[in-house]
Amino acid sequence: MNKFAAGWRIQRRVIGALMIRELTTRFGRENIGFLWVMVEPLLFAVLVGLIWRFMKGPEEHGVGIIAFIATGYIPLTFFRNAVTRSVRIFAANGSLMYHRQIKVLDFVLVRCLIEGIGAMMAFVVIAIALIALGEFPIPYDLGEVVAGWLLYWLFTLSLCLILAPLSEVSEVYEKLLPVTTYIMIPFSGAFTMQSWLTPAAGAFLYYSPFVHGMELIREGIFGPVIEARWDPTVPLAASMVLGLVGLALCRNIRRHLVVE
């Protein structure tokens, strides 16, 4: 038990140190510093929301279109950033492998944490701003929003755990990544609800692990105005399987990692 407590202390120390290091190297200490991490998702959500607003009018299926796009686009940018940032993460952090208490897993975890926290901050900021403008409802159930985010985050983390070691083995994955993240947009649930689609298409989307977190977030925001379908078993099972494969891959790649 003591050993476990000591390990946990070291783990917390390492994650904290790596996060601070990552934030200082990426954003520096000038002007708004690490707050930059939320600027990108914020801009994406606002601008895409505005474009949709002018293309399709103020509402869709009875919910404000800007609010709907914002709730979908922020998790999506989080996913895309986390995935792109996990590419060749081990080689880039090679000099840190000199310290035995830092494990390759920590790099993936830290990037996902930073992107996730940035996206959630953007989410809160945009919600407050839009509520003030009357474009966003008062959230129906905050617990559901948080739970939805956690499901979405967990699945993204498990994907990154697989992508990070694979990208180290072959450059092919890196080349295929942009097109993959683009193609998966319809399957992410960012721009539609299952209940808005034909029954066949909706049933198909049910098997996409992203959709459940997404619909849970939306139910937490909009409440019964929309019909959300979610089941945590799908994303949890998918994360578990991918996560285990990812852990095995990370362990294997560490054995062969050549550090300068």
Annotate 48-104 with DSSP letters as a single string. Answer: HHHHHHHHH-SEETTEEHHHHHHHHHHHHHHHHHHHHHTTTHHHHTGGGGGSTT--H
Q: Which residues pair with 186 in a beta bridge?
A: none
Least distance to another protein, CB of residue 113, Å: 16
Cβ neighbours of 69 (radius 10 Å): 24
When the beta carbons of 35 and 257 are compared against another protein, the nearer one is 257
Least distance to another protein from the beta carbon of 256, Å? 8
Closest CA to 214 of 104, 68, 9, 48: 68
Output 113 or 125, the one with its CB closest to another protein: 113
DSSP secondary structure code for residue 184 in this structure: T
**CB of residue 164 vs another protein: minimum separation in angstroms?**
17
To another protein, the closest distance from the beta carbon of 96 in angstroms equals: 8
Residue placing its CB nearer to another protein in the complex, 94 or 186: 94
Going 25 to 30 to 34 to 39, the CA torsion angle's sign is negative
Angle at 221 between CA 178 and CA 82, to 5 degrees: 25
Tell me the closest approach of the beta carbon of residue 97 to another protein, in angstroms. 6
Q: In the beta sheet, which residues pair with residue 64?
A: 59
Shorter beta-carbon distance to another protein: residue 177 or 253: 253
Q: How far is the CB of 12 from another protein (least distance, A)?
A: 10
Q: Which is nearer to another protein, 27 or 204 (CB)?
A: 27
Question: Are the beta carbons of 238 and 209 closer than 8 angstroms?
Answer: yes
Give least dist CB 103 to another protein, A.
Answer: 11
Nearer to another protein, 101 or 195 (CB): 101
Beta bridge partners of 60: 63
| Closest to another protein by CB, 184 or 253 | 253
For 190-250, the DSSP string reads SS--GGGS-HHHHHHHTT-HHHHHHHHHHHHHHGGGS-----THHHHHHHHHHHHHHHHHH
Give me 4's structure tokens.
């476990």
Using CB under 8 A, list all residues that contact another protein.
Answer: 9-10, 13-14, 16-17, 20-21, 24-25, 94-102, 254-260
